[in-house]
Every structure is written in structure tokens, then in C-alpha cells.
Amino acid sequence: MRERNLMLLHYITGLGILLFGAIHVWTLFFTYPLQETIWETTLRFDSLPYAVLPVYRNILFAASLFGLLLCTTIHAMNGIRAVIAELIGARIRWVEAVLVAVGVFLVVYGTRTILIANNLLV
Amino acid sequence: MSRSEYRSTVLQSLKTMLIAGKYGLERWSYVLQRISGVVVALYFIAHVLETGNFIGGITVWSVPDYSFAEKAYEETVKLLKNPLFDVGLAVVGFLVTFHTINGIRLILAHFGFFLGKPRRPEPFEPPVSFSTRQRALFWLSISLAVFALLYALDSLMRVFRT
């Protein structure tokens, strides 16, 4: 892909992270009772109303997590590529291949986590 | 180019990239943007692996027993519930917030907002790319990042509450 299109993609995925990441951070950090720490409430495994699994069970939250995974992977891999290209002064083919492979692995592995947590029932 | 020459060239350019020196605040924002980006990218990779552990790790590819997943979750949380990781998470919160607001500033600058009308540059004048509003956005990113750091420390470790 051309540098110009990659940077446009970088900006678009960045704004996507802003949207989905806001939802993600909101469900984690801004929905717990103030007397407790995040470990005591939001990071419990499974109990209503605040815990990890209920977020994954909700199909809309799960979809937003998938969007976050996709946007962040593209943004992170392209960001590392850009930093390396700035350091070396040229784009290196095998570095980009490695980054694409890592990105594909992250998306597959993360999607697996989201799907399993979405379907995990008592 | 030999291997050692190549290595010293890369080290030299790393030094040039990361030490802004006297080149001003905009250059320092560039440095912080690169560092925060790379650190958060590494955190993201670790985060995907770690949330994968919540339901049993890389060997699990179909929906497991509920009790198995619960046990795997409790074990991972026991590992992660550590003041060092909490401080690390707060630092990541600082870096993410800075990277977000500074990234918005960069997008705006890249598409020509907040830069003033185009004109002929005078010699020795400061760059127009870091206008007053751009500088305000930079300091906004720093202050929101500090707020995020303190908020995360408080919600993870109860620093400011008793």
C-alpha cells in the first residue's frame, strides 16, 4: 500500500479507536461504585451489574470490542511500521511482512476470546 | 554497508529521533508521540494475550466449561493484581490519553486547521505549525494525561480515598 493511503487509514483507525476505546474505558473505569476499587467490582468475573462477562455477553459491547480490536491492530502495526521506516529511512519488506503476520494473529486470537466469552454460559 | 556500520547508523538515527534538545516543544511532542505509540502498541499485544488467558489460554478454541473459565480467570487476576502492574496500567493510561489528544492535534494540523492563512515564510521565524491553539491542544493533552494517571491510580489502588 502507498504511504499516503496508509496514513489516511492510520487517521481513520485512530478516530475509530477514539469511539470504541471510549466505550471500552467507560465500561471499565466509569461504571463502578465509588467506595470500591476497579478490582472489587468491574474486574469480577461474572456478577451483575458490573463485571467482565456481562460486557462480553452483550452483543453490542462485544461488537464494539471487535471494532476496537480491528482498529487498534491496524493502528498499532502501521504505527510501528512508520516509526521503523522513519528510523531506517526506507520501508523494509520483511519487517512489514512480520507486522502483518502479528496483526493477523492478534485479530484471530482476540476474536476467539470475544466469541468464546460471548458464548460462555453458566 | 557492513553490519556494525548499519547498527551505528540506526543508533545514530534513534538518538536523533528521541533527543529533541533545543528544538522546541513541538519536537518534544513528536518524541512523546513516538514513545507513547510504541509503548501502547506493546501494551496492546500483551493485553490481547492476557485477556486470552482469562478463558484458558491459546489451547482453548471452543467454548469451555463455565467453571474452567472461571478458574482460569481467577488465576490470571491473581497474577495481575500486583501494585507494579497497577502502576504500569496507570502509566499506560497517561500515554494513551496523551497520544489521543496529541493525535487529534496532529490530524488537525495535517489537514490544515488552526494553522492560519498561507503566506510567504520570513527567515528565522518560529514555525507556524505550532500556533497558539495547537499549543493549547498540546497542553490540554498533557493535563488530561496527568488526570488520567491520577484517576487510574485511584480506581486501581485507592490512592486518594481512604
Nearest Cα to A50, choosing from A76, A31, A30, A26? A31
For A78-109, what is each residue's pLDDT tens digit?
Answer: 999 999 999 888 888 999 999 999 999 999 99
Alpha helices in chain B (DSSP H): 3-18, 25-53, 66-80, 83-110, 132-157
Q: Could you tell me the CA-to-CA distances from B60 to A75, A117, B150 in Å, in that order?
A: 27, 12, 37
For A9-41, what is each residue's pLDDT tens digit?
Answer: 999 999 999 999 999 999 888 877 777 888 888
Question: Which residues, numbered 64 to 103 in chain A, qualify as contacts with chain B under a Cβ-Cβ cut-off of 8 Å?
Answer: 69, 72-73, 76-77, 79-80, 83, 86-89, 102
- Amino acid letter, B24: G
Domain locations in chain B?
Answer: 23-157
State phi, psi for B8 to the nearest 5 degrees. -70, -30
* ipTM over the 0.90 cut-off: yes
pLDDT-derived band at A53 (thresholds 50, 70, 90) equals confident
Please say whether the dihedral angle defined by the alpha carbons of residues B59, B61, B66 and B72, taken in this order, is positive or negative.
positive
Nearest Cα to A118, choosing from A65, A58, A76? A58
**Per-residue pLDDT for B126 more than 80?**
no
Nearest Cα to B50, choosing from B87, B13, B77? B77
Question: Which residues, numbered 11 to 50 in chain A, qualify as contacts with chain B under a Cβ-Cβ cut-off of 8 Å?
Answer: 11, 14-15, 17-18, 21, 29, 32, 34, 37-39, 43, 45-46
Given CATH 1.20.1300, say whether it is the number of domain B23-157: yes
